[in-house]
Structure 1
Amino acid sequence: MFLLKKVFQLRDKANPELEKPFLDHLEDLRLMITRVVLTLLVSMLVCFSFQDQLMAIIRKPVDEVMHIHESKMLPKDVESLNWDQARKVEHAMIGLEPATAQHLLNQFDEKTRKLVDAVRLLRASAVLPVEKRADFLQQAKADQPMAELVTTLLTNGAKPDIDAKGNLQMMSVLNPTEPFMLSMKLAFFAGIVIAFPLLLLFTLQFILPGLHSHEKKVLWPALVIGFGLFLMGVCFAYFGVLPRALTFFFEWGLSMGVSNDWRIGEYVTFATQFTLLFGLSFELPVVVMVMVKLGLLTYESMSRTRAYAILAIVVAAAIITPTPDAFTLCLMALPMILLYEICIWLAWYDARKLRRQEEVEERERMERLLNEPQEE
C-alpha cells in the first residue's frame, strides 16, 4: 500500500493539473492490469500455435553446444554429419525384420554402413563392464579397425541415442504433464516478447498520464526505441552470451566428472529468463528517462553520481550473468554503462530544452508587461 501511494504521488507530481483521489488512481491501475493481462493472453494463444518452432529456437543454443562436444568425442576420420546420419539409420532399423533392415542399410554407402555397425556395437558395449567389452567385440566378429573405433567412442563417451524425431537425445522430462506445461511456458515468454510494445505503452500511459499533444507525438518513437532496445538485449543474450554460458556450465560439469543430463524444463526456464533479463536490462534508458520526466533524476545528479551508478551496474551484471568469468560480465556491463551514459546526455539535452523554453516564456512575459498600456 505504501508503494502504491508513492507511485500515485509521482503521477500527481508529473501532472499537477490532473490530480486524482486515491480511488481514481486505483481504477487506472485496474484498467492497466486488465489491458496487460488481456494482451498477454492473446499473444500467448498466438505463440502457442507455433510451439514446435519456438522449441526449435530455444533449443538451438544448447543443441549447438552439445553437438560441438559430441564432435570432439569422435575420431578424426569420422565426421559429425556422417555420425548423425548413421545414428538415424540405426534408429530407423530398430524393430524391422532382418531382411527389411538389411535392405534399408544397403541404400547407403559403405562408410555409412560401417558407422551403423559401430552404433550397434556401441549401444551393446555400453551396458557391459569395461573389462568385458574387448571380449564382446571379439565374439561379435568386429574387425580390428571396427573394434578400435567402438573402443574410442566408448572411451570418449559418445552417445548412440536419438529421440523420436531423429535428433540427438540430450534432455528429458520426468512427469506426464511437463511437456504441456513447457509449451505453455514457452508461449508465455514468447508472448511477452511480441507484445512488449503494447505492455510498455500501457505502463507508460499509467505512469505518465495526461500527456500533452506534443508529448504524445514523442511517445510513439519512444515506444519504437524501447522495443528496439528490448529486442537488442534479447538477441544479444541469445546469440552472444547464452552459448558462452552453456558452454561454461557444460565444460565445468565435465571437469567435475558429472554427466550433463539436463532436464528440458529447467533448461527452458533458464534460457528464457536469462534472455528476458538481458532484454529488460537494455530498457535502462526508458526507465531513466521516465524518472527524469518525473523529476526524480536530473542531469546534475546523474553526472555527479556516475561512479556509483557504474558500480551498481557492474554489481547487477554480476548477479544477472550466471558465469563468473570477466568476459561474460563485461558483455553484460559494458552495454548497460554505455546506455547509462547516453541517458546522461539525453537528460542534459532535455534540461537544456526545458531551460530554453522557460527563457522564451519569461521573455514573452516581460514583453507583454512592457507593451501593456500604463495607467495615468
Structure 2
Amino acid sequence: MARRTQDPNEMSFLDHLEELRWHLIRSTMAVVIVGLVAFLMKDFIFDTIIFGPKKMDFPTYRLFCRIATNLGFESAFCADSLPFTIQNRTMAGQFSAHIWTSIWAGFIVGFPYVLWEVWRFISPGLYEKERKYSKGFILVASLLFFMGVLFGYYVVAPLSINFLGTYQVSQEVQNEIDISSFISTVRASVIACGIMFELPIIIFFLTKVGLVTPVILRKYRKIALVLVLILSAVITPPDVASQIIVAVPVLILYQVSIYISSYVLKREAKSKKAHEQPR
C-alpha cells in the first residue's frame, strides 16, 4: 500500500491512485450492501415498484383519469387494465433481472453516499472556503437527484408504459413484452430524469471553471428549448401533453441554472474586489 503524506497537497501520483481506489471500494460496497437488501425484498421491489406502473390503480393513472372525467373527456387512463403481458423468454432472464434491478436500486438509494465519497476525493484540491459548502452541495445534489427519480417514476415511466403498452400497428399483433424490455423502460426513465435534474449543479461547476456564463445561457435559451422538446419527445409518448409535462420542469431547471450562474459570478467578482482592496 502506498504511504500517504500528512499534507494532501503533497501526495504523490501513487498516493492519489491509492486514495481513489479506497473511495471506489467504499462506494461499491455501499451499493452492494443496499443492493443486497433490495435483493432480499424481491416482492416489494418488483410487485410494488417495478410493476406498479403496469397497474391501472397507479396514482398517476388515477390522477389523469380524474382530470379527464372532470373535463368530460374519455381517457385511456380510466381503463381497467393495460392490454399487454410481461413474459420471460430466456432461461436466466428472471434471475438476471433480479440481480441487475437490485444493483440499480443500490445505486439509486446509495447515491448520496457515493456522491459524498466523490466529494471527499476532490475536496482536498479545493480552497478552504469552497470546502465548507460540501455538506450543502451533497444535500442539494441528492435532493435534486431524488426529485428527478420521483418525476421519472411517477410521470415519465407511466406515460411511456401506457402509450407503448397499448400501441398496436394491427389487431393481428399482440403485445407480449419481455421482462428485460419493461424493466429497462422504467430504469431509463428514472435514471435519465435523476441525472437531468442535476442540471443546476452541473451549471454551477461549469460556471466555476469559466466554461459557462449567464450571457451564454440566455443567448442559447431558444436552442435549449428546442433540445428540451426533442429530449421530451424521445423519452415520452409522442403526444403534446406528455412532452409538455416533461419539458416544463426541465425549462424551470434551466432558468434556475441561469440564476445560479449569475450568483456564482457575482460572488467571485465580490471576492476578487475584496482581495484587491488595500489593507
Give 2:41's aligned amino acid.
F
> Could you tell me which residue of structure 1 aligns to residue 244 of structure 2?
330
> Could you tell me which residue of structure 2 aligns to residue 345 of structure 1?
259
Give 2:44's aligned amino acid.
Q
Q: CA deviation at 1:206?
A: 4.3
- Please list, as runs of the form range in 1=range in 2, the aligned pairs for 1:41-190 lying within 5 A after superposition: 41-56=32-47, 57-64=49-56, 170-190=85-105
Q: Does 1:253 align with 2:176?
A: no
Structure 1 pair 225–358 and aligned structure 2 pair: CA distance change class (3 A): same
Give 1:50's aligned amino acid.
M
> Could you tell me which residue of structure 2 aligns to residue 40 of structure 1?
31
Say if 1:253 and 1:259, in contact at 8 Å, map to a contact too. yes
Give 2:141's aligned amino acid.
G
Say if 2:87 and 2:178, in contact at 8 Å, map to a contact too. yes
Distance 1:292 1:18 in 2: 24
> Could you tell me which residue of structure 2 aligns to residue 290 of structure 1?
205
Structure 1 pair 300–31 and aligned structure 2 pair: CA distance change class (3 A): farther
Q: CA deviation at 1:212?
A: 3.5
Distance 1:237 1:274 in 2: 5
> Could you tell me which residue of structure 2 aligns to residue 231 of structure 1?
146
Distance 2:31 2:13 in 1: 27
Gaps of 5+ in 1: 1-16, 69-157, 159-167, 369-376
Q: TM-score, normalised by structure 2?
A: 0.77
Q: CA deviation at 1:36?
A: 2.9
Aligned-pair RMSD on alpha carbons?
3.0
Q: Deviations over 1:195-218 (max 9, x none)?
A: 011222233444554234443332
Give 2:157's aligned amino acid.
L
Structure 1 pair 176–273 and aligned structure 2 pair: CA distance change class (3 A): same
User: 3-state DSSP class of the match of 2:211?
Assistant: coil
Say if 1:254 and 1:260, in contact at 8 Å, map to a contact too. no
Distance 1:169 1:190 in 2: 25
Structure 1 pair 181–234 and aligned structure 2 pair: CA distance change class (3 A): same
Distance 2:248 2:9 in 1: 40
Q: Percent identity?
A: 27
Gaps of 5+ in 2: 1-7, 62-80
Q: Deviations over 1:48-98 (max 9, x none)?
A: 1111110121101112289x9xxxxxxxxxxxxxxxxxxxxxxxxxxxxxx
Q: Deviations over 1:296-352 (max 9, x none)?
A: 222333233333333333333333x14222222222222112111111111111211
Q: Deviations over 1:245-283 (max 9, x none)?
A: 112112212755421222223211221122111111111
Q: Deviations over 1:94-144 (max 9, x none)?
A: xxxxxxxxxxxxxxxxxxxxxxxxxxxxxxxxxxxxxxxxxxxxxxxxxxx
Q: CA deviation at 1:169?
A: 9.7
Q: TM-score, normalised by structure 1?
A: 0.59
Give 2:106's aligned amino acid.
G
Aligned residues: 250
Q: Deviations over 1:146-185 (max 9, x none)?
A: xxxxxxxxxxxx9xxxxxxxxx993222233222212112
Q: CA deviation at 1:24?
A: 5.8
Q: Deviations over 1:17-56 (max 9, x none)?
A: 9598766665554444333322222221122111111012
Structure 1 pair 220–63 and aligned structure 2 pair: CA distance change class (3 A): same
Structure 1 pair 243–207 and aligned structure 2 pair: CA distance change class (3 A): same
Structure whose alpha-carbon radius of gyration is higher: 1
Distance 1:27 1:312 in 2: 41
